[in-house]
Structure formats: C-alpha cells, structure tokens
Amino acid sequence: MNGAADPRRRVPRTDVLLADPRLAAAEATVGRARLKAVLGAAQDRVRRGEIAPEEVVPVTLAALPETAAGLRPVLNATGVVLHTNLGRAPLSAAAVDAVVAAAGHTDVELDLRTGRRARRGRGALAALAAAVPAAGGVHVVNNGAAALALAATALTAVRQTGGAAGLGDGPAGREIVVSRGELVEIGDGFRLPDLLASTGATLREVGTTNRTALADYAAAVGPGTAFVLKVHPSNFVVRGFTAAVPVDELVTLGVPVVVDIGSGLLAPDPLLPDEPDAASALRAGAALVTASGDKLLGGPQAGLLLGDAELVELLRRHPLARALRVDKLTLAALEATLTGPETPTWRALRTTPAALRLRTERLRDQLAAAGLRAEVVPHDAVVGGGGAPEVTLDSWALALPEEYAEPLRLGDPPVLGRLERGRLLLDLRCVPVDRDEAVRAAVARVPRGRRES
Ligand SMILES: *Cc1c(COP(=O)(O)O)cnc(C)c1O
C-alpha cells in the first residue's frame, strides 16, 4: 500500500489535537477523560478511512455533550405537566439563577453581619413560613418520603414526658394509625406502608379500602398511638361507595394528626379543587403536614414539614434529620421558588387552550410551508407526578406519524411526545413559548425516509 494514501498514517496526533484551542475550550467544559474518549473514537474513524483527518476536530466537537454531566435537557411535549421520568417540576429562571449564585462558597450557614454561625437555610425557611402563616414551625428535608420517614421515626420514638404539644405525658406510642384506603404505592414499587414500617413504627390499619369512619379510628387509638396519619391518595381515585374522615374530625381523637398532602400546594388552588393544601390542613387542626417540593409547588426536589412549632423542632433535632438534610442548591432553589415569579409548572397549568391552539397551528403552518403535513388535534393534558389524577387540562397537539417518535427522542434537543393510537402527539403546554421554534426545527430535521415509512 502506498504510505501517503494509507489513512492510518494520516491520523492526527493526540497531543497536537488537544492543543487545538477549540478542543482545549471543550476540555474545560467536559473534562479531559471524556474529551480523549470521544477524540479517540474520531481518530479511529480516520484510521478506517471514514472521515478525513481535517474532520477530527469538528466531528469530536459535535459528539461531545454540552456539559460534564450526562443529564440532558429535553423538551417535554408530552402534555404531562409533572413528568416523573423527566424530573418533575422544571425550575423557574429565578430558581436557576439562585442555584448558580449559591453553587460556590455561600453564606448558607453564616451570618455575614456578625461573622458567626447562622441557621442553615434561614432564607428558605423564612420564605416557607411566610407562605404558610398557619404553620408554627417549618423544616425542609430531601423529599416527601424523607419528610414522612422523619415524622414516623421521631414521633414513634420513646417520648420524653411533657414533650411536644399534643403528645401528652402518657406511655410512649409506637403505633401509627392509618386508613386502609390510604396505604398507597407512590411509584417505582415504593409503598408508603413499607416506608413507615422501615422506620420501626407499627402500622395500625383501620377501616377498609373504600370506607373508613371516625369510629374505626377511635377504636384503634389508645395509649400506644403515636399519631394518626392521613395520606392523600394522590395518584388514584376510589369512586362509588366510599367514605373518608376529614382532618377536622380526626383531630377530635385527641392524638396528633399528621397529613401527607403529597403535591405541595401551600394554599387552596381553584384550578385543582380536590387537591389538599397545607394551610387548610393546618387550619383544620393537623399537627404536622408533609409535602413534596417538586410537584405542584414547582420547585426543587424537597420534603416540606410544616406544623406545630414544638413538633417541628423535635423533628429538626432528631439525629435522622442530619441524614436527610438538603444542600445549599436545594435551599436556594426553594427560596427563589417561594419568593420569585410564577413557576413554569404554574404557567403550564394555566396556559389557555386558545393560546395553545394558536401556537400549535403556527407550528403546523410553518411545517406545511416546508412541505410537511401535520394535523392539529384536541388533546387532554394531565397534571402527572402522582397529582390530581382526575383532572384533565384541555389542550391541543400536533399529530405526526408515530415514526417521528424515535428520531425526535434521539435528536438534539430530544423532544418527547405522547404516542396514541399510531400517532405521535406533541403538546406545547409544557414547552416554554420561546422553545416552540426548537420543536419546529427538531421536527423539520427528521429525515425524509423516516417521515414516509
Ligand atoms: C409524591 C408523594 C409522596 C412522595 O414524595 P417524594 O417527594 O416523591 O418523595 C408521598 N406521599 C404522597 C401522597 C405523594 O403524592
């Protein structure tokens, strides 16, 4: 073989390539190891004669991820507002700014005026307390499940006498009294009763799947009771011959009532009349409310604990609380979510069908101009994330052949839609308005062959 024509001899050297300013800049973003791996693959392609030596740098740059993390931003065109597989709530721009600002060294636990240690996350806690005046105390942990685990652990532990309000001086109670209709699985095989039992607490189940009465609770409550737990069955609905006991009746039992509201509405929302909220539960007499930060609140993953000041302090001081502590990034995002402008989740829930129809028709018309025919069809969007299972949000979608699903999912950015009866539906409800163009471009980029198959 002629040496000059042998592609293997023309492979650019790694040290020369790494000195290229474009690759040096990429190395600062993705790190040396990942850059070298991608670069090595491009060099191999030169060896095999697939690309020219001059193409190594552009090919490498095109194959590199945008950040050093594998998580990729995607466009959620599923019409599912809180999609667990897509990270539930997207953060607001204000929350993202707060996260970036807190990412380096920050005064998370320092009072800059005095130079002394300060309460960790005081800004986020103050914002949460201000948002729910009915709460005497507030605390934040890793997620909703952690909030419940902390409550179950701390409140069923052997109690000091004269302890927190409502706990009384009686013998230590290790039992959690809960309705059989509220023993829910929250997803991915995780079940709340298992979570509670894993803390060492004893579950005392009362009532039946469809009906539980105050008398059922009353018969079970006794000296062994730590608290009555009310769980919002957030991802399903029992219909027909049903009965459940509201919080304001449970509090007449004389033991603390802990309410897991799930979705994290802090106050009632007329859009979601069946979703429980923290303020109402506390006003009804709940001793403690637990909730998630990244569902309807629209913030970062977090577990919110709100309620009786002494009880919250008991939880905050419990050794397990340290293991469930949130980081500065979560605290920053939570505070910005609570005090900043409306969240993307809030906006997605309130976007009107008329506005969505206009955006979708514009998308259709732009694609038609490029020779691509698609239909605009009515669509039912949903809240998702284990919330408001009965609520559908009137929406619109662009209907494409289902063959579009894979190339759009594998594109850059990936666009996720919903497959329904042989069609791919793209619902713009959860797509930020300024990303409609990115959706259009992604659809237009799908190769013709895929479109016609
Ligand atoms: C979502 C949910 C949880 C779990 O909260 P995470 O933040 O996902 O840990 C617990 N209880 C209810 C009722 C929920 O809806």
Quick: pLDDT tens for 315-346.
Answer: 999 999 999 999 999 999 999 999 999 999 99
CA-proximal residue: ligand 1, atom 11 (nearest) = 262
Under 8 Å CB-to-CB from 363, ≥6 apart: which residues?
Answer: 374, 398, 426, 428, 436, 439, 440, 443
In this prediction, residues 28-32 reach a mean pLDDT of 94
As separate numbers, helices (DSSP H) first and strands (DSSP E) second, the chain gives 19, 18
Using a cut of 0.85, tell me whether the model's pTM lies above it. yes
Phi, psi of 168 (to 5 degrees): 70, -175
H or E stretch at 111: strand 110-111
Q: Is 290 touching ligand 1 by the criterion CB < 6 Å?
A: no
CB of 293 closer than 8 Å to CB of 82: no
The residues facing 141 across adjacent strands are 303
Q: What single DSSP character describes residue 211? A: B
- Residue 186: CB within 6 Å of ligand 1? yes
Residue nearest to ligand 1 atom 6, measured at CA: 144
What's the burial of 67, exposed, middle or buried (CB within 10 Å: 0-12/13-18/19+)? exposed
Does ligand 1 come within 6 angstroms of the Cβ of 293? no
Residues 68-89: pLDDT tens digits? 998 999 999 999 999 999 999 9
330 lines ligand 1 (CB under 6 A): no
Structure confidence at residue 5 (pLDDT): 63
Nearest CA owner, ligand 1 atom 8: 144
Is the backbone peptide bond immediately before 12 cis, with ω within 30 degrees of 0? no
Task: Report the residue among 230, 292, 324 best suited for mutation to probe ligand 1: largest number of ligand atoms under 8 A from its CB.
Answer: 292
Q: For residue 180, name the pLDDT band (cuts at 50, 70, 90).
A: very high
Measured by CA distance, the residue closest to atom 14 of ligand 1 is 262
Q: Which atom of ligand 1 is nearest to the CA of 301?
A: 7
150 C-alpha vs ligand 1 centroid, how far in Å? 14
Structural tokens at position 56: 């190594």
pLDDT in tens, 182-234: 999 988 889 999 999 999 999 999 999 999 999 999 999 999 999 999 999 88
Whole-number pLDDT of residue 173 = 77
What mean pLDDT is reported for the chain? 93
Confidence label for 450 from pLDDT (cuts 50, 70 and 90): low
pLDDT at residue 126, as a whole number: 98
- Identify the three-state secondary structure at position 396: strand
Contact 94, 336 (CB under 8 A): yes
